[in-house]
Amino acid sequence: MVVKVYGSAMAACPQRVMVCLIELGVDFELIHVDLDSLEQKKPEFLVLQPFGQVPVIEDGDFRLFESRAIIRYYAVKYEDKGTKLTGTTLEKKALVDQWLEVESNNFNDLVYNMVLQLFVFPKMGHKSDLTLVQNCADKLEKVFDIYEQRLSKCKYLAGDFFSLADLSHLPSLRFVMNEGGFAHLLTKRKSLHDWYLDISSRPSWKKVLDLMMMKKSDMSTGPAKEEVKV
C-alpha cells in the first residue's frame, strides 16, 4: 500500500515530506489539496489535520501530520533502505535533531513571514508590509552568519553527512533564492552557498522541482492525484 501525502506540490511543508520520501526510496501518492480555495480549512479536511494545514500522511490506518514529525518517522523506519538521513550514533542523531530544531525555530518563521507578505497577502488583496520583510531579511542575515561559521567547519549541518537537518531547509531556501529575491543573502557567504548548491542538486530535490513545475502548468486541468514511483 502506497503512502498518501495530502498537500500541494507548490507548498513548502509537503515538499519537505516528498523530498524525504524520495531520498528514502519510498513510493507515495500526492493527493492535491487546493490551498488557494482554502480546501485545508474545510470540515472534511479538518478530520485529517485539525489545525487545517498541509501536509498530512496516511499509511494504511496510520495518520500523521507535521512535516518534521513525518520525516523523522520515515527516516528511522527506512534507515536501511535509501539514504541514511539520521546519524549512525546517538550523538550524531542528536546533532541532526538539533539542527532540524534550528531550522524549525530560528530559520523557518523568517522565510514564512516573507512568503506571506510578498505572495500570499497580495493574492488575497492585502498590502505587503515591506518593513516587516526587511526585518526578516535582517534577522536572516544574522542566522546565516552562524550557518556560514558552522558550514565552514563541516560539509553539512550535522557533520560530514547529508541529513534531515539539511533536507528540511530545501523548500524555504528555494524560495529565498528565487521568487523571494534574496539570493544575495546566500551568494555572499561562500560555505553557505556551496552547501546550498550541493543539497539542491540532489536528484531527490530535482524530482520535487519537477512535480512543482508540472503542478504550475497543470493548475486548472491537472490530475487530482499523482502517483510518484521512486
Partner 1 sequence: MATPVKVYGPTLSTAVSRVLACLLEKDVPFQLQPVNMAKGEHKKPDYLKIQPFGQVPAFQDEAITLFESRSINRYICDKYGSQGNKGLYGTNPLAKASIDQWIEAEGQSFNPPSSILVFQLAFAPRMKLKQDENLIRQNEEKLKKVLDVYEKRLGENQYLAGDEFTLADLSHLPNIQYLVNGTDRAELFTSRKNVERWWGEISGRESWKKVVEMQTSPPPS
For residue 2, which of 33, 25, 19 has the smallest C-alpha distance? 25
Indicate whether 97 belongs to the interface with partner 1 (CB under 8 A): yes
Q: CB 16: neighbour CB atoms within 10 A? A: 25
CB of 66 to partner 1, least distance (A): 4
**Closest separation in Å from C-beta 224 to partner 1:** 26
- Do 74 and 26 form a contact (C-beta atoms < 8 A)? yes
Enter the DSSP assignment of 78: T
- Classify residue 184 as left (phi > 0), alpha (psi -120 to 50) or beta: alpha
Place of cell 508590509: 129
Q: How far is the CB of 96 from partner 1 (least distance, A)?
A: 9
First to last CA, the chain: 14
Query: Applying CB under 8 A, does 47 fall inside the site for partner 1?
Result: no
| Structure letter (DSSP) for residue 54 | S
Among 76, 130, 213, 219, which residue interacts with partner 1 (rule: CB under 8 A)?
76
Q: Which of residues 175-204 bind partner 1 (CB under 8 A)?
A: none
Residues 116-145, one symbol each (x = binds partner 1 by CB under 8 A, - = not), give: ---------------------------x--
CB 228, min distance to partner 1, A: 21
Report the C-alpha gap between 57 and 49 in whole angstroms: 9
Told to check if 105 binds partner 1 by CB under 8 A, we report yes
Residue 93 near partner 1 by CB under 8 A = yes
With CB under 8 A as the contact rule, the residue among 27, 34, 36, 109 that binds partner 1 is: 109
Q: Cα(128)–Cα(150) distance, rounded to whole angstroms?
A: 33
Using CA atoms, how far residue 137 sits from 16, 18, 110, 146, in Å, is 22, 27, 7, 15
Q: Is 72 in the site for partner 1 (CB under 8 A)?
A: yes
Residue 16 as a binder of partner 1 (CB under 8 A): the answer is: no
225 DSSP β-pair partners: 31
User: Which one of residues 38, 47, 69, 219 is an interface residue with partner 1 (CB under 8 A)?
Assistant: 69
Which stretches of the chain bind partner 1, using CB under 8 A? Answer: 50-51, 62, 64-66, 68-70, 72-73, 76-77, 90-91, 93-95, 97-98, 100-102, 104-106, 109, 143, 146, 149-150
